[in-house]
Chain A
């Protein structure tokens, strides 16, 4: 296979021409690329560091660095002498017109074969992270694997490079232009999970009976904590696509679902939405919404009122296993609770969160619980009622 070599480096010996230089003269040795590092610790940009040996002559040297078919941020290019740091000085950098190139003016106090490190940001080469998790049949833990996917569409082939992430060991890997490589880089067996069912009254329909032939699925998620107790916690887990499977007890697996996760720093939770449960049914109804006028203007129009409201939500668990349902209710504006038959946590001024433990279905039928809350909204003005704002 013919390798793609689109980054060129030329040492131009300064041939002292007359002041009128017609174009630039390119000449001499093409220093081979030596140790190359692909640094993928920043998800926004990939830094390439390469070492080359420059044959420098005493005096002023011009080194021409040019590229074609690749996209290099010219302002990101840096040059560092590694051996004679105080004898070799970079005097200036010039950008020739209409060319993907730059020219270094380097002064050297003697003749050296100097190793320099050139670093630059190269576009279209990056890495993705994907996760694959296999849950046990009881859904208590997952075997978590993470893959690194290197994608090189930069225009440049890398025969052998040290690939560095922001954590873990560097490893040697070659990758050609237009090549994608997927490799396992994290394996954490038995990571404990919590399964969460969530009904948000602002997002899901209230009365399934009113939907013709459609089930209301209650979103189900797995929660994983990035900590030592979970066999994790050594480093932040990068964001990526996660695919979840489950052991089916027949030496095989089923696919549970997939979700994307953002970056999960150490100590934080990863929540992966796998699918919807249709075996938990919530029927929410407004049973009362009465206006109580508290003030009228001198034309006899109501200008301020309170409300008496009642919400009921019947929760039925048709599953043959217990479940913990997180129910989220929203009450806009100023309000006070008169009566609520279940404990809740006020997440913010307008959001109530209930943790409802549902037993399994029994002989008698589904396990049923009913939330009933009676509350008053206060100081409402006709035509200027507060809108429900859901802040996530």
Chain B
């Protein structure tokens, strides 16, 4: 559906009569269109070029956008030639008409003039999602990145150069809310009604349906996605042009990298994950991992694992991840597992170093816990295990023994043990934790 129309009105001064006669002259069509779609906000910057036929003198250009989601306050027109001879005097939103703007243009040239019209619209969106396929030994992963572009803007953009912005822009008003306003800039003394919270489930349903359609429709050809950094954002430019009719989505391959080395990382932290071990898949967005050209926009990753030599797959799990800058580590949470076990046990407990106040009440003491931690890798691959222990106090000393791997104090009351385990192996270590209580806190030294 073409809902944005442009009408060029030429003001012909009639002699004698003070009032001017307005004539409709041409309906210039869109020559090119470029879409720059954001995903941190429902917003797209549209830039279209059209050729206007201007007359020497006063010209009026009518721009209307009924049933679209254009923010009228963002409308701007710039002549691309003869800029010094064409003065865009004003943009008027006439009374008692909606979705219509009128540019008053004073031109000292007549003939075709290319102009560029830009505006912000709502209703176009994009998201990233990923598919990972692990090798059978889970040492490397094939990683495919996709982008899905969805057009619910009410307007068909044909043969549009499509660009996507990765980044978090700061916006004050929802474009959709600005688009729905009765008066583009509101009216004095009336604070524009805040947008009613969007009916998220409805939206989701619609999105889900659209996405399913998109999945059914395979991308026709692998187009290249050119990526470049701009300010705090990344700009993805999809090669060539795209036609995404209103209501449709399109999936495009963003990148395809084979054999990304991955680490099978398992984490144990009672306070955060409960008594189970959580599996993570870890890699780094850098050259060593055949990535690192650009940041990776956040999205959902579905992980599969190759099974046998017939190319069969088994589904491992999925994880959504955040934006990953270049050189940053990625840790994908694939959920709890049972095939790796971390078992902490208190093996001994005692108290000592009692202090008493003037009334002979207990005012200070030490508690000494001896913990034994057993880590069992029942899988037939190498794994890395991170165990975090949180203490309720900052007054503590620790004494580790056994096969405790790398030890690190994370913050004032948390420590971390990092262990590497061979396939089907067990590691055990112990630590003695002394905590200082009451008046004994004063005797603690960092």
Q: Which residues of A contact B (CB under 8 A)?
A: 123-126, 128, 130, 132, 135, 137, 139, 149, 151, 153, 173, 176-184, 207, 212-215, 217, 219-220, 241, 243, 246, 248, 250, 252-260, 273-279, 281, 285-293, 298-300, 308, 316, 318-320, 361, 365-366
Instruction: Tell me which residues from 118 to 140 in chain B have a Cβ below 8 Å from any Cβ of chain A.
Output: 118, 120
Q: Are A281 and B93 in contact (CB under 8 A)?
A: no
Q: Are B92 and A300 in contact (CB under 8 A)?
A: no
Q: Which listed residue (B36, B320, B394, B411) contacts A213, Cβ 8 A?
A: B320
Q: Are A215 and B170 in contact (CB under 8 A)?
A: no
Q: Which residue of B lies closest to A255 (CB)?
A: B45
Given known A-B contacts A123-B189, A286-B412, A178 and B96 have beta carbons under 8 A apart: yes
Q: Are A254 and B45 in contact (CB under 8 A)?
A: yes
Q: How far is the CA of A306 from the CA of B165 in the complex (A)?
A: 50
Given known A-B contacts A124-B189, A153-B188, A286-B411, A176 and B90 have beta carbons under 8 A apart: no
Interface string of B320-340 (1 = CB under 8 A from A): 111101111000010000000
User: What residues on A are CB-neighbors of B327 within 8 Å?
Assistant: 318, 361, 365-366
User: What residues on A are CB-neighbors of B76 within 8 Å?
Assistant: 132
Q: Report, nearest first, the 4 A-B pairs whose CB atoms are least far apart.
A: A318-B325, A178-B95, A300-B357, A183-B90
Q: List 14 A-B contacts (CB under 8 A).
A: A177-B95, A179-B92, A180-B92, A181-B92, A182-B93, A182-B185, A246-B230, A252-B36, A254-B231, A257-B170, A259-B172, A276-B167, A278-B295, A300-B359
Q: How far is the CA of A300 from the CA of B360 in the complex (A)?
A: 11
Q: Give chain B nearest CB distance to A66 CB in angstroms.
A: 22
Q: Are B187 and A259 in contact (CB under 8 A)?
A: no
**What is the interface residue range for chain B against chain A?**
35 or more
Interface string of B367-394 (1 = CB under 8 A from A): 0000000000000000000000000001
Q: Are A128 and B411 in contact (CB under 8 A)?
A: no
- The verdict on B91 contacting chain A, using a C-beta distance below 8 Å, is yes
User: What residues on B are CB-neighbors of A179 within 8 Å?
Assistant: 92-95
- The verdict on B261 contacting chain A, using a C-beta distance below 8 Å, is no
Q: Give chain A nearest CB distance to B173 CB in angstroms.
A: 8
Given known A-B contacts A126-B188, A274-B169, A300-B357, A285 and B95 have beta carbons under 8 A apart: no
Instruction: Tell me which residues from 214 to 247 in chain B have a Cβ below 8 Å from any Cβ of chain A.
Output: 229-233, 235, 237
Q: Which residue of A lies closest to B74 (CB)?
A: A243
17 A-B pairs besides A183-B91, A275-B169, A275-B231 with CB distance below 8 A are A124-B188, A179-B95, A180-B184, A182-B91, A183-B90, A207-B411, A252-B36, A253-B47, A255-B169, A275-B168, A276-B168, A279-B325, A288-B394, A290-B394, A308-B446, A318-B295, A361-B326
Q: Give chain B nearest CB distance to A224 CB in angstroms.
A: 16
- The verdict on B1 contacting chain A, using a C-beta distance below 8 Å, is no
Q: Are A290 and B444 in contact (CB under 8 A)?
A: yes
Interface string of B137-161 (1 = CB under 8 A from A): 0000000000000000000000000
Q: Are A292 and B442 in contact (CB under 8 A)?
A: yes
Q: Are B185 and A128 in contact (CB under 8 A)?
A: yes
User: What residues on A are CB-neighbors of B442 within 8 Å?
Assistant: 291-293
User: What residues on B are CB-neighbors of A184 within 8 Å?
Assistant: 88
Given known A-B contacts A153-B187, A177-B95, A287-B409, A278 and B170 have beta carbons under 8 A apart: no
User: What residues on A are CB-neighbors of B409 within 8 Å?
Assistant: 287
Q: Are A281 and B232 in contact (CB under 8 A)?
A: no
- The verdict on B42 contacting chain A, using a C-beta distance below 8 Å, is no
Q: Are B185 and A214 in contact (CB under 8 A)?
A: no
Given known A-B contacts A254-B45, A275-B232, A293-B442, A285 and B411 have beta carbons under 8 A apart: yes
- The verdict on B410 contacting chain A, using a C-beta distance below 8 Å, is yes
Q: How far is the CA of A246 from the CA of B165 in the complex (A)?
A: 12
